[in-house]
Amino acid sequence: MNTPQTDCFPPEKRSQRRRLRACHECDWVSALPPLSSGEKATCPRCSHVLVKRHRYPAQRSMALALASLVALVIAISFPFISFSVGGIGNRIELSQTATTLIAFHQPVVAIAVIMTIVILPMVYLLGVIWLQYGLLRGRPMAFSRDIARSLAHLTPWMMADVFIIGALVSLIKIAGMAQIELGISFWAFCVFAVLLLMTTQSLDADWMWFSLEGEPRAPEGTQTGTTASSQGITGCPTCGLINRLSPQGESRCVRCNEKLHQRVPYSLQRTWALLFAATVMYIPANVYPIMTTTSLGHTTTSTIIGGVVQLLQMGSWPVAVVIFVASVIVPVGKLVALAWLCLMIQHTNELNAQSRTRLYRLTEFIGRWSMVDVFVVAILVALIRAGSLMSITPGPAALAFGSVVVLTMLAAMTFDPRLIWDTPLPRPTRRKTATKEPVDG
């Protein structure tokens, strides 16, 4: 049983055996070197970060999570933004950016907004606090393993930072038409977004899993300097532990109980299906209006491209560039990039596998930022409600575009980057230092 003092010592100082990892992006097996605070270990083949070490990880993560939670509570308890024009105004709270959409028959978009900016971040922070408190006192709390496994799955769907960008774009859009006042909630949410990002970055998953469940030995005969699939083993995508794959059927990680596969089942087929669905949804997302604006009794509709043109006419070209990149360049680029990766799987070698892996990382990282336009609509619809004088209602493109964002994110998650490296590699291009070495895991 661990004691609270173990938080001062990384796994390298609590284990005499070499600790092995199979890279989740290229499948290369390597041994983790001893790491000091602030250092990280990367895969020698594709440069994917395997482990990043932090000083006092439990205290650091718990302090940041508590501060983030306090900021979130303040953000949902006070006024967010208010506006006034012609003696008529409106004031909204953060939750109204989602609840107002329900009144306009957009419940799916409303659920997506409240889940990504409030519910999932709150669940994540409570999970971090629960885990780290148990580790600090030397006795993990109940369900710690299940909670730890879920944290990695929640991270991509938390979009507080994207929501802040959407809020800033919304303010710029209406700054010339009305008087804007930022409430306590707005500033608290900005602090929350920063603290949430710091919390996710501070989580030392390697230390956490070692402290929760220790580290069982790697399968006997595991060799470094070669791929895991060639040895009938695989690295757990959640906790990193190397496991032997069962030839009979389903395999699970012996440490975190995550399902294991040599490669993601039907990776290319599922990616193609999701890309096709996203492409189909991208058509109505651009053809139909994303919102309808009523000003002094005059009603105009605005598509995504129309909104960009309107911002350019207003002289807000930096915001227009942000919206154009997030709503047009990023979704189209992601669709094209993932389709190209799927097509070129059979035509790769170690030289271009490096660049294609970097392309995959980029598409996985930028996908969530396309939600900016959806958040802009949610904020403006909730805020601008002054009847015939000025009001904004959501259009059908909001749901279609939100679907594109979700589908492309799922497509990137479904695509297995290890497929890029699976074709036989020419012997001269292999790293000279990547020698096979039996290791007692």
- Condensed to tens digits (0 to 9), the pLDDT of residues 128-184 reads 999 999 988 888 888 899 999 999 899 999 999 999 999 988 888 777 677 888 999
Q: Report the pLDDT value the prediction gives residue 344, as an integer from 0 to 100.
A: 86
**Residue 428 pLDDT class (50, 70, 90 cuts):** very low
In degrees, to the nearest 5, what angle opens at C-alpha 315 toward C-alphas 310 and 316?
80
| DSSP H stretches of helix in 104-204 | 107-114, 120-136, 144-154, 160-174, 184-202
Model pTM score: 0.88
Torsion angle, alpha carbons of 128, 129, 131, 135, to 10? 130
Alpha carbon distances (Å) from 92 to 82, 122, 257, 393: 6, 21, 44, 15
**Averaged pLDDT, 310-314:** 77
Beta carbons of 271 and 278 less than 8 angstroms apart: no
Residue 291: which residues within 8 A CB-CB, separation 6 or more? 301, 302, 307, 377, 380, 381, 392, 393, 394, 395, 398
pLDDT for 363-418, tens place per residue?
988 888 889 989 998 998 888 876 666 778 898 999 999 999 999 999 999 999 99
CA distance 15 to 437: 20
Alpha carbon distances (Å) from 312 to 33, 61, 207, 304, 308: 52, 42, 49, 13, 6
pLDDT of 253 > 70? The answer is yes
Alpha carbon distances (Å) from 269 to 199, 272, 273, 353: 35, 5, 6, 20
pLDDT for 17-27, tens place per residue?
678 999 999 99
Three-state SS for 294?
strand
